[in-house]
């Protein structure tokens, strides 16, 4: 049986400052949000825009890298995978980061 592939590459501007959250198992997680914008043309010819706000999580050695190198307003490219979990009956969606690149 073939396995599925879950790879995400997205870019945008950091919307909220990276911060550290400690889990109940004493793991550190860096969390922040990324904003990116889609621009497209409607059927009637008018230009339209949609803004996405994406929750990002970084684990392990990426926590310290994020805290020292990322700030609100940085344009970055994030490589990771999409994650959906149910927390207290509510679906929580986020992108779990493998690594990032700061764009010029």
pLDDT for 1: 60
pLDDT (tens digit, 9 = 90+) per residue, 56-91? 999 999 999 999 999 999 999 999 999 999 989 999
- CATH class of this structure's domain 8-102: mainly beta
| Extents of the domains making up the chain | 8-102
State the burial class of residue 103 (Cβ atoms within 10 Å of its Cβ: 0-12, 13-18, 19+).
exposed
pTM of the entire predicted model: 0.86
Name the β-bridge partners of 36: 52
C-alpha span between 89 and 40 (Å, rounded): 35
């Amino acid at each position: 049986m073939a396995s599925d592939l879950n790879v995400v590459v997205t870019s945008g501007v950091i919307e909220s400052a990276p911060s550290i959250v400690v889990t109940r198992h004493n793991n550190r997680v860096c969390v922040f949000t990324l904003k990116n914008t889609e621009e497209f043309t409607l059927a009637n010819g008018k230009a339209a825009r949609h803004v996405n706000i994406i929750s990002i999580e970084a684990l392990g050695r990426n926590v310290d890298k994020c805290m020292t190198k990322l700030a609100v307003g940085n344009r970055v490219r994030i490589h990771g995978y999409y994650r959906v979990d149910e927390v207290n009956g509510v679906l929580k969606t986020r992108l779990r980061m493998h690594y990032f690149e700061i764009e010029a």
